[in-house]
Structure 1
Amino acid sequence: MSSQPWLHQEGVEIQAYGTVRQLPIGLSRDVRLYSCQRLNQILADLQILHALYKKHHWVMRGATFYQLHLILDKHAGELSELIDMVAERIQSLGGIAVGDPRHIAEFTQIGRAPNGCEEVPAMLSRLLEGHELILMDSHDAASKVDDQGDDGTNDVIVSGVIRLNEAQAWFIAEHLVDTPLLHV
């Protein structure tokens, strides 16, 4: 026996992405496969939105810097918890959650932001567009997985994804209302 770590290990892929293992959860393979596909799309978009929140949190500028810096970080933290919930639902269905950033970039529907820093309204608008894409896809997915009898996935989408994204979109949208900071 040695305490030396086994470095440079390689293994064989034991489950391919896009497949589901059989689990005794009362849902057919086809239902679980469909739910995993829909959830992985949502998961990829949530991870990109999370990354945008962190980027915008770091490069925030202007008179409302402090408030926006804090709220963007708060939203990123909430999204991080939601990402974990969605990924765990995929795994509980017997699927493989999309997790590699390169794979996520292939899936996301959210457009790429510039590498540099944009003006604050453009950053906030970009976040709102991301929320809206996720919400449109989530409403459709929730309805379809419900039709197939996957109550657990419907609950994750409705109670988790839709509820959080609607609330975050509301908070961000209120920062784009054209009202003066001070009345003179």
Structure 2
Amino acid sequence: MTTKAQQTSKQAIQTIEAQPKFKQRPHVIQKFGELHSMPIGLPEEAIKKNVECLNQLVADSVTLYFLYKKHHWQMVGPTFYQLHLLLDKHAEQIEETIDLLAERVQQLGGVSIAMPNDVAEMTRIERPPKDAEGVLTMLSRIVEAHATIIKGLREGIELSERTHDSTTNDVLSSDVLPMHELQLWFVSEHLVDIPITDAKA
């Protein structure tokens, strides 16, 4: 039974504007896949296609980021130190491009993919096991993931050029693609099968 004092205390709390209102579940203001109008001089259909392309790149990039982190943590062997550091550096650079891609989605009036469960459903990158794998397998997975994203980036560059979305084109061709090509090169060179020392020397 609620006492008069408790009711008075409850009313006092309700009248304090600074009181946080917990457990809110506000209504959805924009569904994923919908666009709100942005006066940027591009047809809605063109914007829609670019948003879809960008969101796919976000999903794949987030997956690659965590692939890098997984392999950074689980790295072993004689090249542990340099690969441990290299993979972490690459992960940080990937994270920066994720921000660029997701914010471009928002700039176009879309809703960026964000949560891990949604990313897992959408990504085109093969899911690795929970287990720790050998070094060459880990690096091969990273190279394949980069190749998938690079293919998507080239498709996005062609699409944004065709739809006259110059800003998206610039983000993809100037900021994101060169980084992926550089990272793919750095990682793939570790897959060259040569001995560390030359036995003939």
TM-score bucket of the superposed structures, by smaller chain: over 0.9
1:24, distance to aligned residue in structure 2 (A)? 1.4
SS in 2 for 1:15: coil
CA distance in 2, matches of 1:162, 1:128: 14
Shift of 1:7: 1.2
Runs of 4+ in 1 over 6 A off after TM superposition: none
What is the root-mean-square deviation of aligned Cα atoms in Å?
A: 1.0
Give the greater-gyration-radius structure (CA). 2
The answer to whether the aligner puts 1:89 opposite 2:99 as a matched pair is no
Aligned match of 2:95:
80
2:130 partner letter: N
Shift of 1:118: 0.4
Structure-2-length-normalised TM-score: 0.89
CA drift of 1:30 comes to 1.1
What is the CA–CA distance in structure 2 between the aligned matches of 1:94 and 1:148, rounded to whole Å?
Answer: 16
CA deviation map 1:39-96 (0-9, x unaligned): 0011100000000000000000000000000000000000000000000000000000
* Residue identity in the other structure for 1:147: R
Are residues 1:11 and 2:26 paired?
Answer: yes
Equivalent positions of 1:38-117 (< 5 A) are 38-117=53-132
Number of corresponding residues: 184
After TM superposition, the score normalised by the length of structure 1 is: 0.97
Superposition deviation, residue 3 in structure 1: 4.4
Cα-to-partner distance string for 1:114-164 (whole Å, 9 max, x where unaligned):
111000000000000000001111111211220110111111111122111
Query: Secondary structure in 2 aligned to 1:23?
Result: coil
1:145 aligns with 2:160: yes
Q: Which runs of 5+ in 2 are unaligned?
A: 1-15
SS at match of 1:102: helix
1:167 CA displacement: 0.5
